[in-house]
Structure 1
Amino acid sequence: MRPELRRCRMAEGCMMALRYGMVFFNLLFWLGGCGILGVGVWLSVTQGNFATLSSSLPSLSAANLLIAVGTIIMVIGCLGCVGAVKESRPLLLTFFILLLLIFFLEILSIMLFFIYQDEIDHYAQRDLKKGLHLFGTEGNVGLTNAWMIVQTDFRCCGVTNHTDWFEVYNATRVPDSCCLEYSDNCGLDNPGTWWTAPCYERVKDWLNENLVALWIFALCTALMQILGLVFSMAMFCQAVKVETFYA
Structure 2
Amino acid sequence: MRRSSTDESTYRRSPSPEGKEPGFARGGPFRRCSSLYGRAGAGEAGDAGGGPFFGLHSNPGPKAAQARYTSPKGNKYVVFYLDLSFIFLLELKRCSMARGCLQGVKYLMFAFNLLFWLGGCGVLGVGVWLAATQGSFATLSSSFPSLSAANLLIVTGTFVMAIGFVGCIGALKENKCLLLTFFLLLLLVLLLEATIAVLFFAYTDKIDRYAQQDLKKGLHLYGTQGNVGLTNAWSIIQTDFRCCGVSNYTDWFEVYNATRVPDSCCLEFSDSCGLHAPGTWWKAPCYETVKSWLQENLLAVGIFGLCTALVQILGLTFAMTMYCQVVKADTYCA
TM-score range, shorter chain: over 0.9
**Aligned pair count?**
247
User: Equivalent of 1:94, from 181, 190, 197?
Assistant: 181
Cα displacement (A) at 1:66: 1.0
| Worse overlay, 90-99 or 176-185 | 176-185
The answer on 1:113 being equivalent to 2:195 is no
User: Equivalent of 1:132, from 204, 219, 228?
Assistant: 219
The answer for the alignment partner of 1:166 in structure 2 is: 253
The answer for the alignment partner of 2:21 in structure 1 is: none
Tell me how far apart the structure 2 counterparts of residues 145 and 43 of structure 1 sit (CA, whole Å).
Answer: 12
Tell me how far apart the structure 2 counterparts of residues 70 and 140 of structure 1 sit (CA, whole Å).
Answer: 24
Structure exhibiting the larger radius of gyration computed from Cα positions: 2
Q: How big is each residue's C-alpha offset from its partner over 1:60-85, in whole Å with a ceiling of 9 and x where there is no partner? A: 11111111111111110110110011
Which runs of no fewer than 5 residues in structure 2 stay unpaired?
1-85
Cα displacement (A) at 1:189: 1.4
Cα displacement (A) at 1:26: 0.7
Q: Which amino acid aligns with 1:194?
A: W
Tell me how far apart the structure 2 counterparts of residues 222 and 132 of structure 1 sit (CA, whole Å).
Answer: 35
| Worse overlay, 66-75 or 210-219 | 210-219
The answer for the alignment partner of 1:27 in structure 2 is: 114
* TM-score of the superposed pair, with normalisation by structure 2: 0.71
Identity %: 70
Secondary structure at the aligned position of 1:161 is classed as: coil
Tell me how far apart the structure 1 counterparts of residues 231 and 129 of structure 2 sit (CA, whole Å).
Answer: 20
Cα displacement (A) at 1:18: 1.0
Secondary structure at the aligned position of 1:133 is classed as: helix
Pairing of 1:43-54 with structure 2 (within 5 A): 43-48=130-135, 50-54=137-141
Contact 1:23 1:81 survives alignment (8 Å): yes
Contact 2:136 2:151 survives alignment (8 Å): no
The RMSD of aligned alpha carbons is: 1.4
**Could you say which structure has the higher helix fraction?**
1
User: Equivalent of 1:82, from 169, 176, 200?
Assistant: 169
Which runs of no fewer than 5 residues in structure 1 stay unpaired?
none
Cα displacement (A) at 1:49: 6.0
Tell me how far apart the structure 2 counterparts of residues 5 and 43 of structure 1 sit (CA, whole Å).
Answer: 57
| Worse overlay, 92-101 or 175-184 | 175-184
The answer on 1:179 being equivalent to 2:266 is yes
Tell me how far apart the structure 1 counterparts of residues 329 and 136 of structure 2 sit (CA, whole Å).
Answer: 55
Tell me how far apart the structure 2 counterparts of residues 24 and 136 of structure 1 sit (CA, whole Å).
Answer: 47
Contact 1:133 1:168 survives alignment (8 Å): yes
Q: Which amino acid aligns with 2:124?
A: L
Cα displacement (A) at 1:174: 1.3
* RCO higher in structure (CA 8 A, sep ≥6): 1
Tell me how far apart the structure 2 counterparts of residues 232 and 141 of structure 1 sit (CA, whole Å).
Answer: 43
Contact 1:51 1:58 survives alignment (8 Å): no
Pairing of 1:219-238 with structure 2 (within 5 A): 219-238=306-325
Contact 2:136 2:146 survives alignment (8 Å): no
Contact 2:238 2:265 survives alignment (8 Å): yes
The answer for the alignment partner of 2:158 in structure 1 is: 71
Cα displacement (A) at 1:12: 0.6
Tell me how far apart the structure 2 counterparts of residues 151 and 122 of structure 1 sit (CA, whole Å).
Answer: 20
Cα displacement (A) at 1:96: 0.4
Tell me how far apart the structure 1 counterparts of residues 318 and 236 of structure 2 sit (CA, whole Å).
Answer: 44
Q: How big is each residue's C-alpha offset from its partner over 1:206-239, in whole Å with a ceiling of 9 and x where there is no partner? A: 2122222211111111111111111111111111
The answer for the alignment partner of 1:151 in structure 2 is: 238
Tell me how far apart the structure 2 counterparts of residues 242 and 232 of structure 1 sit (CA, whole Å).
Answer: 15
Cα distance 1:138–1:47, how it changes in 2: closer, same or farther (>3 A)?
closer
Cα displacement (A) at 1:142: 2.2
Runs of 4+ in structure 1 over 4 Å off:
none
